[in-house]
Every structure is written in structure tokens, then in C-alpha cells.
Amino acid sequence: MQDIPTPGAAPIARRRFLGLTAATGVGLTLGAGPIGASLASAAAPPTIHPTSSWGAVPPSSAVEMLNQAPKKLFIHHTATGNSTDYSLAHGQALARSIQRDHMNRGWIDSGQQFTLTRGGHALEGRHRSLEALRNGRVHVQGAHCTAQNDVAVGIENEGNYMTVDMRAEHYAVLVDFSTYICSQFGIRAYQIYGHRNFNATDCPGDRLYAMLPRLRSDVAARIGGDPTPPAWPTLRRGDRAERVKALQYLLRSRGATIEVDGDFGAATEAAVRDFQGRTKASSDGVAGSQTWNQLAWYLTRGASGEAVKAVQNQLVANGISVAVDGAFGPGTETGVKTFQNRVSLTADGIVDPRTLSRLLA
């Protein structure tokens, strides 16, 4: 996630900074319970050492417990040295170092919900995260990924994985822990991401990032489902298409004041750059995977607004007749189910990121 000092070492230079909260004012319905709650609970509870066990100081203010389960699991690395001390005592010192570093930045507590050491020890990071995990239907807002902290739970993995592979023992526990988190919260395996999928960062390192397809597959083998993540189009200035309209609607849902005309001109490019800057995505004015990942939120029946129009417009573009009125009613839900059946997705009527990406294909 970010550079932090190794326990007992001098502080090292920081490369990244993370926003504290998710983007607000979107007006989208996320749903009260975990999406995919019917996923098999295939994981036994692992040993997770609570904040009380490693000497955490109290948060500087109350952590926020959200009345919804997270929809995504983010994988980070600490970008610290690849220690050969695999003891629990070392992991506890690491957890204290992370919390101290984060609170020195003005954060209320550790940014991530959980930490996994090179020795395979799982520790609670932000206070009350273990409580939320055991509950399965609530979420402790973290500070580990700008604009995603309301909907994503994060695991910090000790080490720097730019050029070094994760230890096999560490990876095995990561699979177990990720499986348990996904089972508890109803997170689908394809919704396991690296930090760099959303923010302009090297995290979780090139080598660990390259292992994420395997991690998704290993988790899916235990909880079921297709581990294939969304595949997004790349749109840039000069493009003219129906999916440019979807991009424009989604940008409008996040506050942009642009015309929806299907023409990726100067105004749309400026809106993309502005959105990228606010969400700490790569700011190049091109709508690529980071930008779409940040724009794509869950939409269910009862939602309303410009983001719903983006879905409705793409349903029409795919030959499914619905009104483009911004109201996600029974007609839109039926249209979404029809499309999901057509492309062999779970026909639940929920527009998750993978359904949206297929609509844009």
C-alpha cells in the first residue's frame, strides 16, 4: 500500500499517499446485504490476531462502521524489506509500525483492515475490522485506496514484491484468508484486485500483481464462480460511440457538467482528467481500466440518476428495449437479466462491474 518503516529501522521515503474516504455524492444504491450471499462458505475461520494482542493504540477518533458489506477485496504490499524473521513477535512489531506511520500522517488508525506477514500471521489492522468480518454484513471504512474505502476491504502483505516472489507459505495463507473474507462478505472471486487497479501506484508490486489471476482462480475453486475480472474498453479523445455516452453519463453521475453526445471531445477529456485526479487514478485523460474501475459501482432496482442512464443506454445499444429515464425499475431490471442471460452471467438483475463491462464490449 505505501512505504512504512521496518520495525526498528529508520523511516524510509514514502512514494504514495492515499485518500481517507471514498468518493461521495454518487447517489447509487449499493444494497443492504452482501452481493452474492449465496456463495458457499467454504473457508474455516483462520487465526486472526486482534488489535488488542499486538499493542495497538486506540484510534484518534471512532472508526466508522458502515451498514453494508464490502463488495471488493484489495491486495497490497507494505513495500518494506523482505524480512526472514517469520515470528509472530515480528508481525506484531510490524503492525505497530504500520499504525504509528499511518497515524503520523493524520489518519485515525491503521489504514488497512488486515495485515498478513511473511510468516503467515494474520493480524487485525484497523480497530473493529475483525468484528465486521465475523458479522459479515457490515464494513469498517478504511484508508487504503482512494475513492474505494467504503466498498473495499484491504489486506496488507508484508514485503516488497516488485522483483521478488511471495513465499509459498505466505501465499498459501493469503489464499485461505482471502477465501474466508470472500465467503464472509459474499465477495465474488473476480472482485479481488490489486491496489494499482484503482490508484496510480506500484502496489502490490509487479510480481504479486502478476499472481492475482492465480489468487482469483484459487479462491473461486473454493467458493465457486467465474474468477475472470472485468475487461474494459479504452476510450480517448476523438472516439465517437454509444459507449462514449455511457462514459459521459457516468462522469455526470460524479459531478461532471458535460453533454451526453457520444463525442469524446475536449470537454469529455477534461472531465476524465478531473475525475482521475480526484480518485488518484493515472491522470492521462484516457478512459482505461483504472478509470472504469473507479466509475463502476453496483446498481440495483430502486437506484436512480445518470449512472442508471448509462446502463439503460447500453441496454438499448445491445438491442434491449428500455426507457432511458434514469429510474432503475422493473423494466430495467428485466432488461439487465435478459442481457446477463445472453452473455452467460448470473441473471440477478444487478449491474456489477462485470455486467457493466460486458455491456460496453
Q: In this predicted structure, what is the pLDDT of residue 43?
A: 58
* Range 47-73 average pLDDT: 98
pLDDT tens digits, 117-165 = 999 999 999 999 999 999 999 999 999 999 999 999 999 999 999 999 9
Residues 207 and 60 in one domain: yes
Residues 254 and 170 in one domain: no
Domain annotation covers residue 112 = yes
How far, in Å, CA of 327 to CA of 304, rounded? 5
Domain annotation covers residue 19 = no
Assign residue 159 the CATH number of its domain. 3.40.80.10
pLDDT tens digits, 319-357 = 999 999 999 999 999 999 999 999 999 999 999 999 999
Residues 203 and 251 in one domain: no
Closest CA to 59 of 95, 120, 94, 100: 100
How far, in whole angstroms, is CA 47 from its chain's centroid? 24
Say if residues 280 and 200 touch (Cβ distance below 8 Å): yes
Residues 132 and 251 in one domain: no
Domain that holds residue 217: 48-223
Residues 72 and 193 in one domain: yes
Domain annotation covers residue 2 = no
Residues 248 and 211 in one domain: no
Residue at grid coordinates 460524479: 254
Q: Sign of torsion, CA 213 141 306 303?
A: positive
Residues 207 and 254 in one domain: no
CB-based contacts of 263-272 (< 8 A; 24+ apart in sequence): 264/235, 264/236, 264/237, 264/238, 264/239, 264/240, 265/237, 266/237, 268/237, 268/244, 269/236, 269/237, 272/247
On the CB side of 272, CA atoms within 13 Å amount to 27
**Confidence band of 2 (pLDDT split at 50, 70, 90):** very low
How far, in Å, CA of 289 to CA of 282, rounded? 10
pTM of structure: 0.88
Burial class (CB in 10 A: 0-12, 13-18, 19+), 45: exposed
Count: domains in the chain: 2
Q: In this predicted structure, what is the pLDDT of residue 11?
A: 28
pLDDT exceeds cutoff 70 at 112: yes
* Range 176-196 average pLDDT: 98
